[in-house]
Structure 1
Amino acid sequence: MPEGDTVLRTARRLHHALAGQVLTRSDLRVPRFATADLTGRAVLDVIPRGKHLLARVEGGLTLHSHLRMDGAWLIYGPDERWRGGPTHQIRAVLANTAHTAVGYRLPVLELLRTEDEEKAVGHLGPDLLGPDWDAGTALRNLLADPARPLGQALLDQRNLAGIGNIYKAELCFLARATPWLPIGDLPAATAALLVSTAHQLLEANRDRSVRTTTTGAKPRIITGAHRRTAPGRMSRTGRPRENLWVYGRTHRPCLRCGTPIRTAEQDTRPAYWCPRCQSGPTP
């Protein structure tokens, strides 16, 4: 599932291609809205809300979409061949004279009144990359259920919006806690730092084509953690050569201590952790 920074960049591309232009083609290939036609209406803007995309169209309408695991919006020129997948995977086509936006494998696609957007996204917690970001509210949301496993709490978009499985794994590592540790067992200072670090990491990656959590931003949670590093895993500057601390690194040495990274399933998704650097229950 795309993270909040990926959705933000998608919204930017869609906004650049569509906003301020009148649609010359509109094709929504979902049964409920198959007869809806936005042709002749101008796109006003395209904004992200957590992992949701809201394309606002003239006349008080909003096209709401969510990428989930496999969805994608791709932009093409007037004569460019569409390469996002077979035709039967296309769920939406929005075009003007200069660009065509094609939505592939979109599991959520609905047309609603702009005034009713809250029905689609009103349940979300503070958006880590949005103007409504509020660290205090996010922290209170996370700690509302102290017994809930840390990984589950971080992925619940009702607590804070924008974290996916990659950031979940990285934040748990930075907090030195396994994804199964009850969030209420985190020291209060660590929980607060976890929220600020989540915001810091997504902000640092909002403009990057390659996501990294090991350089650029300087999370403080693991300062003073195991200082021994895996031999040959650091660059000449002393920074990790890897872009991520634990995600996708099963059986490879931890960048902090050299212990092989482990993985197990948590709520049907893979969870990654270092058995030395991170404390707490495991499967």
Structure 2
Amino acid sequence: MLTRGELRHPRLSTLDLVGRSVRAVRPVGKHLLIRFDDDHTLHNHLRMDGAWHLYSPGARWRRPAHQVRAVLATAERVAVGFNLHDLAWLPTSAESRLVGHLGPDVLDPEWGAEHEAEAVRRLTADPGREIGRALLDQSVLAGVGNLYQTEVCFLLGRSPWTPVAEVDAVRAVRLCRELLLRNAWHPEQSTTTSLRRGTEHWVYGRRTCLRCGGPVSRGCLGSGLESRVAYHCHHCQP
């Protein structure tokens, strides 16, 4: 049961959450759904800079107070939401209004064969589309960001500009889930299984390929506001 529950948001500042209990927390891509025992949900979107931290009562927060958008506390723990975007309070039954357009979430705890098959179906719906752009499309597969699509393309042995038709779509989906699951419970993002500085990624953010030592090229994937920096190794990703 919450002993403190404040939301620092113009539309929700008068909502008092004290006395309510959180019954579930479900991520859907960068959306986070916090479900309460009164059949309501607190929705927030992390975007690029949002984060939730867990503290012991009385512990010093690691980010400045002006970034705080939510404080949810029990007698044992304090959850602080920093730089949260698009905060909304809605009936749990209406969650699909906000996340119903998204593809299967790779971190869904109920993930199974049906989720994988649906993700593969969405991924291959446009065979001529670049695999990098398809993996970044949240309506195809929710939760895959630029770092992970870059590293998945590397592990597939294909550049991000390769048409989907030339890629093993099942393996692509499985790699996305494998890499995100591997990093789900710690802040470091390693796609190589190594957490040693400078060896966490194969090509993302690197000048040389961790596998072959060859040069890593930087390019642009997509255009306009949706453009992303893409990395690839010419030797390992022909």
TM-score, L = length of structure 2 = 0.87
List aligned pairs for 1:64-213, cutoff 5 A.
64-85=43-64, 87-130=65-108, 131-133=110-112, 134-184=115-165, 186-187=166-167, 190-208=168-186, 210-213=188-191
Counterpart of 2:11 in structure 1 is 32
Q: Indicate conservation of the 8 Å contact 1:91/1:104, yes or no.
A: yes
The SS at the match of 1:33 is coil
Once the two structures are superposed, residues 7-54 of structure 1 have per-residue CA deviations (whole angstroms, 9 ceiling, x without a partner) of xxxxxxxxxxxxxxx112221111121221111212222222233211
Counterpart of 2:107, as a letter, is: L
Change (3 A) 1:144 1:94: same
1:132: Cα distance to partner? 3.7
2:41 & 2:231 partners in 1: Cα distance? 37
1:76: Cα distance to partner? 2.1
1:262: Cα distance to partner? 1.5
Does structure 1 residue 277 correspond to structure 2 residue 236?
A: yes
Q: Indicate conservation of the 8 Å contact 2:149/2:176, yes or no.
A: no
1:208: Cα distance to partner? 4.8
2:187 & 2:7 partners in 1: Cα distance? 29
TM-score, L = length of structure 1 = 0.74
1:276: Cα distance to partner? 2.2
Change (3 A) 1:208 1:88: closer
Does structure 1 residue 63 correspond to structure 2 residue 42?
A: yes
1:23 & 1:174 partners in 2: Cα distance? 44
1:67 & 1:81 partners in 2: Cα distance? 22
2:46 & 2:35 partners in 1: Cα distance? 17
Counterpart of 2:30, as a letter, is: K
Structure 1 segments, 4+ long, off by >6 Å, are: none
1:209: Cα distance to partner? 5.0
Percent sequence identity over aligned pairs:
49
Alignment size in residue pairs: 229
1:72: Cα distance to partner? 0.9
1:255: Cα distance to partner? 2.6
2:236 & 2:141 partners in 1: Cα distance? 25
Q: Report which of the two has the higher share of strand.
A: 2
Counterpart of 1:276, as a letter, is: H
1:207 & 1:34 partners in 2: Cα distance? 31
Q: Indicate conservation of the 8 Å contact 2:214/2:235, yes or no.
A: yes
**Bigger radius of gyration among the two:** 1
Q: Indicate conservation of the 8 Å contact 1:74/1:84, yes or no.
A: no
